[in-house]
Amino acid sequence: MTDGARGRRDLLGRMRGNWRRNLFLLLFVLDLGVITLAVAAGFFARFAMAEASLDTVRSQGNLYLVVVPALILGWQASLLLNQAYNMEIIAIGTDEYRRVVRATFFTFGALAIVLVLLRWQVARGFLAVALPLGLVLLLIERLLVRRWVLARRRRAMLVDGVVVVGSPHEVRYVAEGIARNPAAGLVVRAVATDTTDAPTFELANGVVVPQAGAIADVVDAVHRYEASTIIVAGHNRINRKQLRELGWQLEDTTIRLALASRMTDVAGPRIHWHPIEGLPLMSVEMPRYSGVKYSLKRAFDLVIATGMVVLVAPILFAIAIAVRLDSPGPIFFRQTRVGVNGTLFKMTKFRSMAVDAEARLAGLERQNDGSGLLFKMKDDPRTTRVGAFIRRYSLDELPQLFDVIAGSMSLVGPRPPLPREVEAYDHHVHRRLNVKPGITGPWQVGGRSNLSWQESVRKDLYYVENWSLSGDLVIMFKTLRAVLARDGAY
């Protein structure tokens, strides 16, 4: 490759990578603005809202002239150090939010240590406002930016073009996974399978991509198809020597190299690298279903569920009256469901159907709009007038907050199944019962009744093995959006 050709190709790579720089600058500026706003709010809450005297302002003003800018800059630096601007995690999964939370608490922890060592007296009211307000605003800002990014990625903007390398089977598995997840910011431009049987390569979802031919020429293919990343889908068509030589070819370019693992449905926090000279080992932490992490989840459930019961008490009372006046029968509907480890419990909901709904189910089985083991019907004749409304906005599920407080359910978890559904489970589907069922969960925010049975199971199993408290918070935020949009609710 000539120096001129290499220079032109490097320029193309820099042009294609501009979206990363621009997105970094956007996030940086927005984060800085949000942090400044939160710190300023804490300052004014201390002096303005507290009606501090002019003498107090004068005596402590010089201290805050140091603390305020130091806190702003330190907070921003902590976001950088915690890699909250890593483009590989932006708008993907919950790791972005987790890093923002970690950076925030690190900042205030470091500030507290410095204040103690220097014996500076900073008002607790200042920190009590700045910390929670800043964290909430940062998370909301990141959520809004994520929605903006995802909207553009669905139109093939803000994406990296990739060339996938490997055997046809390996390439198809990786390419189809990329096509199913536009949020990842990757678009398959071509594949290289060392075959010349056909000029194109067809994926199962009907997408057709060019066949780049020889794996040895994959670097040229990256430039030819205006891609920026090479993904090695497996080792059947590329050995260690070829992989090492490929890495050498990329040293003076802006092209990125990624290796696809055969380990599927494993979240990032469970993956750990153990570098041994010449042999990078990837270990996967096996899921655990007890311990401190689950104690924290239980505490979180209790605090939030209790607070929500107090907050929505008037709504609960109003719905109870509406249900009683709308049709004869009890206010609540209690049904046996299967909980953690196969234990049975009575799940509580507002009654949304006629009292003889269970007896009429057999006659409606053929009209099932659900999939797999789930029975769902868009225009179910058993639904009452009030029931249709409260189901549309998931208000019928509010009494499940009492099930959470009692310990039978969690705020977030897999959908609570019926005993007859569990009896028909395949062996691997029983893993859904390793954790408590939830009022909301991946099924609720991923399409609800619009999901196929297989997709519903896959989402639940992924949650069971990879859940985190920050992930639960994200699902709760998404639940609010899904409920308001009435996505798949019937």
In tens, the pLDDT along 384-434 reads: 999 999 988 889 999 999 999 999 999 999 989 999 889 988 888 899 999
Phi, psi of 353 (to 5 degrees): -130, 170
CB of 350 within 8 A of CB of 333?
Answer: yes
| Token representation of residue 450 | 């619009």
**pTM assigned to the model:** 0.66
pLDDT band of residue 13 (cuts 50, 70, 90) is: very low
Residue indicated by tokens 């390439």: 171
Q: At what angle do helices 292-311 and 469-485 cross, to 10 degrees?
A: 30
| Token representation of residue 262 | 């055969």
**Calpha distance 37→31 (Å, rounded):** 10
Task: Express as a percent the part of the chain with pLDDT over 90.
Answer: 34
First to last CA, the chain: 61
The mean pLDDT of 303-308, rounded to a whole number, is 95
Coil, strand or helix: which one is 323?
helix
Q: What is the pLDDT of residue 410?
A: 96
Q: What is the pLDDT of residue 409?
A: 96
Task: List the domain boundaries for the chain.
Answer: 10-153, 160-262, 292-485
Which among 252, 249, 250, 270 is positioned nearest to 261, based on CA atoms? 270
Least confident of 81-95, 120-134, 148-162, 474-488: 474-488
54 has pLDDT over 70: no
**Calpha distance 59→227 (Å, rounded):** 60
The mean pLDDT of 197-225, rounded to a whole number, is 82
Pick 473 or 309 by higher pLDDT.
Answer: 309
pLDDT band of residue 281 (cuts 50, 70, 90) is: low
The secondary structure element, H or E, covering residue 15 is helix 3-16
Q: What is the pLDDT of residue 39?
A: 92
192 has pLDDT over 60: yes
| Token representation of residue 15 | 């042009």
Q: What is the pLDDT of residue 12?
A: 42
Q: What is the pLDDT of residue 341?
A: 92
213 has pLDDT over 60: yes
The mean pLDDT of 297-302, rounded to a whole number, is 94
The secondary structure element, H or E, covering residue 165 is strand 160-165
Q: Name every residue whose Cβ is closer than 8 Å to that of residue 222 and which is 6 or more positions away in sequence.
A: 163, 228, 229, 230, 255
pLDDT band of residue 285 (cuts 50, 70, 90) is: low
The burial of 446, by beta-carbon neighbours within 10 Å (0-12 exposed, 13-18 middle, 19 or more buried), is given as: buried
Residue indicated by tokens 């990256």: 222
Pairing of strands 344-350, 332-338: antiparallel
Residue type, 264: T
11 has pLDDT over 70: no
Note the pLDDT tens digit of each residue in 349-376: 999 988 877 777 766 666 655 555 555 6
Which architecture characterizes domain 160-262 according to CATH? 3-Layer(aba) Sandwich (3.40)
The mean pLDDT of 154-183, rounded to a whole number, is 87
Note the pLDDT tens digit of each residue in 432-470: 999 999 999 988 786 665 667 777 888 888 888 888 887
Pairing of strands 186-192, 160-165: parallel
**Within 10 Å of residue 267's Cβ, how many Cβ atoms?**
18
pLDDT band of residue 289 (cuts 50, 70, 90) is: confident
Q: At what angle do helices 292-311 and 313-326 cross, to 10 degrees?
A: 70
Name 362's bridge partners.
Answer: none
15 has pLDDT over 60: no
The mean pLDDT of 56-67, rounded to a whole number, is 66
The mean pLDDT of 182-202, rounded to a whole number, is 83
Q: Count the helix, strand and coil residues of the chain and give each as a percent rounded to the nearest 5.
A: 60, 15, 30
Q: What is the pLDDT of residue 204?
A: 65
Q: What is the pLDDT of residue 308?
A: 95
The mean pLDDT of 376-382, rounded to a whole number, is 71
Note the pLDDT tens digit of each residue in 261-274: 666 556 556 665 65
Chain mean pLDDT for the chain: 82
